[in-house]
Structure 1
Amino acid sequence: MCGIAGLLSFEADAARWRATIDRSIALVARRGPDDVGAWGDDACLLGFRRLAVLDLTPAGHQPMLDPSGRFALVCNGEIYNFRELRAELRRDGVCFRSTGDAEVALHALIRWGPDALRRFDGMFALAFYDSASRRLLLARDHVGMKPLYYLRVARGLVFGSQYDQILAHPWARASALRRDALGLFLRFDQIPAPYAVHDDAAMLEPGAWLAVDAAGRTERGRFHDFPRDREPDLRGDDALEAVESAVAAAVRRHVVSDVPLGTFLSGGVDSPLVAALARETLGTSIPAFTLATGDPATDESTDAAAYARAIGLAHTVRRIDDGEVLALVTEAHDACAEPFADYSILPTLAISRLARERVTVMLSGDGGDELFWGYADRSASVLRIARHFREPRLLRAVRHVASARDDWGLLHRTIGDVYCTHHGSVRRRTLRAALPELPPLPDDYTAFDYDDWDEGRTARWMRWLEVRMHLPRILMKVDRASMHHALEVRMPLLDREVVDVASRVDWATCLDASSGIGKRPLRHALARHVPHQTTAKRGFTVPIDAWFRGPLRALFEDAVLGRAEICGVPLGRRALRAMHGEHQRGAASHGWLFWRLLSLALWAERHGRPTTT
């Protein structure tokens, strides 16, 4: 687990940018404290910071070159099936100098080109360069667990693991803020790939690759795309067994490490299942870490402790209190160089710091909710609407009325509109009062374009949207928070095999719409390891509403209420002050909106630019 940086010049003057790339590498020092390296020719520069996890010897150093010196690689992440790939490459005559996965990725790309990416089961962002053809290949894992940003201008392309690496390059100086990207953030708390907040910049999409040569010729491709509407062929007991087998195999791959390993432990289902399988695979207790908030609505520590006893884990609980909130907010904006407003990054930072005191690698249960209909309340409610509005006359009447309205949560023209409501978290009426000139979405943004009322297709589309829309936010949070503390987080539930099996499972096997309980295959697997499991859905969160009445109140008043605009977007100052008063009196709760605005204001002070396009 590491940080990468690099540049491809279209003017054969890469050497002049060496100091710039060195500074870019320094920006990701926290991601890779164990080693640093750089390599280049007249067209390309590659830089690397290493967090040593596999093959701790100098043989694991990057940038990694093949014996001929023609090919070079920097790779952030882990390839979990590297042993199988190594054996295949050895049979083809490849001799290896290291015992880690990076050299396997290098020779796989030499041998198979972009087709090698289909063979990788892992989390990664990589840059692979062929000095003979002067061709640079960028690629990102199948669900986007590792980040990769790039900026392309007339003079070349620059890339990195963090967005501040892009902003720090002189080529970015002419790039203005994109209003439509701000429109995404102000609605959904993130700017999902392929978008970025500045002109000429982008985030490479999950499961995608981009190849550019020194003449500027470009080729794009995909090696993985989660299906939007795959007809299921796994149901009932067959599905339960297939999922359990895939998850167990994934955990066996994910526990391979040359450094100490532990696990996050929530009071839910996903991380306890991963922890139980890891304990079973390793045959020994491993450290488990849980965060406590002291707030009954958000604190999972009691349930987590019960799981730890049942599984046999060495459990540590850390309490987060009001006195450290401001420090965590500062840390969050140190860790996030792009606009990002999922406030669960605050507890993720705290638990990552705690875990790093004892281990270097952590297992997580992320991905279970998105793959197995774990957001049961919103899934079940939308399916009920789909069932209800299959009556054509009623549907036409609703669309006629809704077409003349712009309300959030009352009338919707399509199921896509309904689900957009759930993902926006703030009512449209409230959002437009706070931001009367709310920027539009990008013209090509179509994630919520869905106009079907069939129950099965709707369930599959919702799961596809969770993977495409919500999962990237979770992964961004985990990557930024954990790597800020040089902690590698592995996610067995997002293993390629698990993802492929999940895409084949029928929704009704996973979600009981009447009881509002999802993830039934994971619950079935967990039941083999613990006598009792929870059904409440709390999520990894903090009492953000209470914090805006306490430790965050003065910061919000100073950073948001005291200004007329943020990033060129005017604020509805009178409406915001009224909301602030309601919130302080307890007459309403606007914590989510307040955190979104505060996050953007703090980002603008640290990273943003005042102009917009």
Structure 2
Amino acid sequence: MCGIAGFISFEGRRDTDWMDALGRTMTDAMAHRGEAARAPYVSACGTVMLCATRLAVRDRSEAGDQPMTDPTGRVVLVHNGEVYGSRSPAAPLWPRSTTCDTEFVLQQVCREDDPAAALQPLSGMFALAWHDTWSGRVVLARDHFGVKPLFYAFAHGGLLFASEPGVLLRTGLVTPEVDPEEYVLRSWIRMDAADDHTWLRGVRALQPAEYLSVDSPGTPTTHRYWRPTPVEKPVSAEEIRAAFDRAIAERAVSDVPRAAVLSGGVDSTAAVAALTALDVPVQGYVLRYQDGIGGSGDDVAHAAEAAERLGVTLTVCDLDRENAAELVPVLPTRLMRPLLHGAELAMHHLYGAIARDGNVVVYSGHGADELWGYQAGGYFPIVDPYAPTFLHGRHYLTHQLYPDERPVWARLVTWMARELGVDMTAVTDLVWERTMEEYRAIKTASPLKRGRHHLLRRFLVYVNDMVDATSATFTLEDRPVFQDVALAELAFRCPEHLKNSGEPGSSHKGLLKEALADLLPDSVRHRPKQGFPTPTDPGYARRLAALADGLGTPFGLPPLPAGLRAELGVGEWMFLASTSAWLGHLAELRTHPRSHGEQSRTPVALAGPGPRGRP
């Protein structure tokens, strides 16, 4: 976990002092993402600025700080995330002076003139930016799955970019505005809104497996460097296990304390079991809702059983009604969006406990479901798998899916759209277009593989962005062990019907469970799929309704109709209250863009050997 940011001028040389001050402002705004920083890099030509904060996880010496330059001075690189290696390794270009992954990436970048050739074989999670001082090219890049985010905006005659949208806003060069149509669209589809748009007008997100290249001023272009190949060849449990073991071994390396989210499900239990088999010291954490606000505590029972079997210490993190309510107006300022689900609260609370115990690296199972689960076949209602894609369930997706699954939510968003003057037909047309873009993006007749690609490129990215924002708040690095290119390529090679055994209680991720069987207690292997529960307690709903009333209706809309108000539950009240809090935060940023919010626990240092990451 680190943070990167920068500016590329499209209007020629800029004042060096102005560029340096901009870099320091951006570095300070993302101080919570890392605890060491060098002074910003400003190119000799005066058109490029790069800056970074570093969380030192491997090789904690100051030699690994960023921006980092190769020995010839040709390439300057900033890097967020963790790269474990390359699937096509080559001999080092120069004797390495560090063991950190940033220098490894720098060698890969220097080796290849084509950015795609440098990026495609990398194994890990990353957001990168580099300046080739010989050619003048600047490249921004995001990892294969979008684990690490990268946002950008065209502002002040150039391109501004950062690991978080809030960093862009803190510069004062990007106006914190919300497009009502985009707000309604993203609210309508809720947990499936990841694409190159964001909740903020003019702020874009670089997409997974893409890079943006600026080869001449004012003409940036984006390119996709990887997509999984959907073929139909049998995959054995032994192949899956071998790839999983390699992924665990790569991610086991760390020079700082490690923890794991241990929910007692298949993914997290297998990860912790594999780590302990390698004698990696790891502490488990599980969330438990209190006051009946969201769950039965079933995770705790399964997690405790897994922890006892593995000899791992388990910490139970209790989230009660009052703490959950207090987070509602705070979290939107980190996520830069309203709260759409109970998971944001749970993740934030869990990561806070992990950090307070002195841990830095966290292992999680995000991504296993998208690659190996969701096999009921109902995610996309298909008329005919060989029919043109425009015939695939358009009416259901745009008019029935969301109202059928969340009728009260749909009525609330429809009311807001009407009051904001947003045409819901235009919104649902956009839902279809954006959904189908990734559904169509791979060449296969299999609707399930198309749907899986959509999940990988949209829903999983939504989860990754949420994980990054909540973990970065506490200067943590979350390592999702299943988001591995070799595992993904196996998942897209494997015929979908082989992933399910068809046996009662074990059809969800059946092939994956077979591959990981010796790592899982029987109770975990046969446990039904569960996610983070959404708070539902009526008392909590009343607490959130009072909070929403105190903050006022979003966008200054009129009071809710009495009939609609009476229907709202926890999710809807949380959404309304968090929207108002978020819009209030944006208004404050418009007035005081450089008044920095949360600061890191260790102040960031510039222009010198910075403080190392936490011991």
Q: Which range moves more in the overlay, 536-545 or 264-273?
A: 536-545
Q: TM-score when scaled to structure 1?
A: 0.84
Query: Per-residue CA shift, 1:350-386, capped at 9, x if unaligned?
Result: 111111123110110000111112x45xx35457x65
Closer, same or farther: CA 97–421 of 1 in aligned 2, 3 Å: farther
For residues 321 and 243 of structure 2, what CA distance do their matches in structure 1 show?
Answer: 41
Identity %: 26
Question: Which amino acid in the other structure matches residue 217 of structure 1?
Answer: T
Question: Which amino acid in the other structure matches residue 327 of structure 1?
Answer: E
Partner residue, 1:554: 546
- Residue 50 (structure 1) aligned with residue 54 (structure 2): yes
Contact 2:329 2:582 in 1 (8 A): no
Q: Which range moves more in the overlay, 215-224 or 22-31?
A: 215-224
Q: TM-score when scaled to structure 2?
A: 0.83
Contact 1:298 1:543 in 2 (8 A): no
Partner residue, 1:407: none
Closer, same or farther: CA 231–608 of 1 in aligned 2, 3 Å: farther
Partner residue, 2:75: 71
Question: Which amino acid in the other structure matches residue 277 of structure 2?
Answer: E
For residues 385 and 470 of structure 2, what CA distance do their matches in structure 1 show?
Answer: 47
| Match for residue 446 of structure 1 among 426, 433, 443 | 433
Contact 1:352 1:482 in 2 (8 A): yes
Closer, same or farther: CA 61–154 of 1 in aligned 2, 3 Å: closer
| Match for residue 601 of structure 1 among 549, 555, 580 | 580
Query: Per-residue CA shift, 1:172-212, capped at 9, x if unaligned?
Result: 23x75333421332113365231123443211011000011
Closer, same or farther: CA 200–333 of 1 in aligned 2, 3 Å: closer
Partner residue, 1:327: 326
For residues 186 and 309 of structure 1, what CA distance do their matches in structure 2 show?
Answer: 41
Partner residue, 2:610: none
Partner residue, 1:278: 275
Closer, same or farther: CA 221–340 of 1 in aligned 2, 3 Å: farther
Cα offset for 1:349?
1.0
- Residue 524 (structure 1) aligned with residue 506 (structure 2): no
| Match for residue 121 of structure 1 among 120, 123, 132 | 123
Partner residue, 1:248: 245
- Residue 188 (structure 1) aligned with residue 189 (structure 2): yes
Question: Which amino acid in the other structure matches residue 432 of structure 1?
Answer: T
Partner residue, 1:307: 306
Q: Residue 270 of structure 2 aligns to a residue in which SS?
A: helix
Partner residue, 1:95: 95
- Residue 289 (structure 1) aligned with residue 302 (structure 2): no
Cα offset for 1:22?
1.1
Number of equivalences: 563
Query: Per-residue CA shift, 1:241-263, capped at 9, x if unaligned?
Result: 22222111101111111111121
Q: Residue 243 of structure 1 aligns to a residue in which SS?
A: helix
Partner residue, 2:595: none
Query: Per-residue CA shift, 1:80-115, capped at 9, x if unaligned?
Result: 116x77x6232xx42211111101111211111301
Closer, same or farther: CA 496–420 of 1 in aligned 2, 3 Å: farther
Partner residue, 1:592: 571
Higher relative contact order (CA 8 A, sep 6+): 2
Question: Which amino acid in the other structure matches residue 263 of structure 1?
Answer: A
- Residue 156 (structure 1) aligned with residue 155 (structure 2): no
Contact 1:267 1:300 in 2 (8 A): yes
- Residue 579 (structure 1) aligned with residue 564 (structure 2): yes
Query: Per-residue CA shift, 1:431-458, capped at 9, x if unaligned?
Result: 323542445448596243379xxx9722
Closer, same or farther: CA 427–177 of 1 in aligned 2, 3 Å: closer
Partner residue, 2:593: none
Closer, same or farther: CA 154–434 of 1 in aligned 2, 3 Å: closer
Closer, same or farther: CA 458–147 of 1 in aligned 2, 3 Å: same
For residues 112 and 594 of structure 1, what CA distance do their matches in structure 2 show?
Answer: 51
Cα offset for 1:546?
4.0
For residues 205 and 423 of structure 1, what CA distance do their matches in structure 2 show?
Answer: 28
For residues 432 and 23 of structure 2, what CA distance do their matches in structure 1 show?
Answer: 33
For residues 414 and 9 of structure 2, what CA distance do their matches in structure 1 show?
Answer: 43
Q: Residue 292 of structure 1 aligns to a residue in which SS?
A: strand
Question: Which amino acid in the other structure matches residue 266 of structure 1?
Answer: S
Partner residue, 2:465: 476
- Residue 239 (structure 1) aligned with residue 236 (structure 2): yes
Contact 1:425 1:592 in 2 (8 A): no
| Match for residue 488 of structure 1 among 451, 471, 477 | 477
For residues 423 and 483 of structure 1, what CA distance do their matches in structure 2 show?
Answer: 32
For residues 242 and 417 of structure 1, what CA distance do their matches in structure 2 show?
Answer: 41
Question: Which amino acid in the other structure matches residue 33 of structure 1?
Answer: E
Closer, same or farther: CA 13–307 of 1 in aligned 2, 3 Å: same
Closer, same or farther: CA 346–382 of 1 in aligned 2, 3 Å: closer
Contact 1:7 1:14 in 2 (8 A): no
Contact 1:212 1:218 in 2 (8 A): yes
For residues 382 and 130 of structure 1, what CA distance do their matches in structure 2 show?
Answer: 44
Contact 2:237 2:511 in 1 (8 A): yes
Question: Which amino acid in the other structure matches residue 253 of structure 1?
Answer: E
Partner residue, 1:406: none
Partner residue, 1:205: 207
Closer, same or farther: CA 153–424 of 1 in aligned 2, 3 Å: farther
For residues 74 and 252 of structure 1, what CA distance do their matches in structure 2 show?
Answer: 25
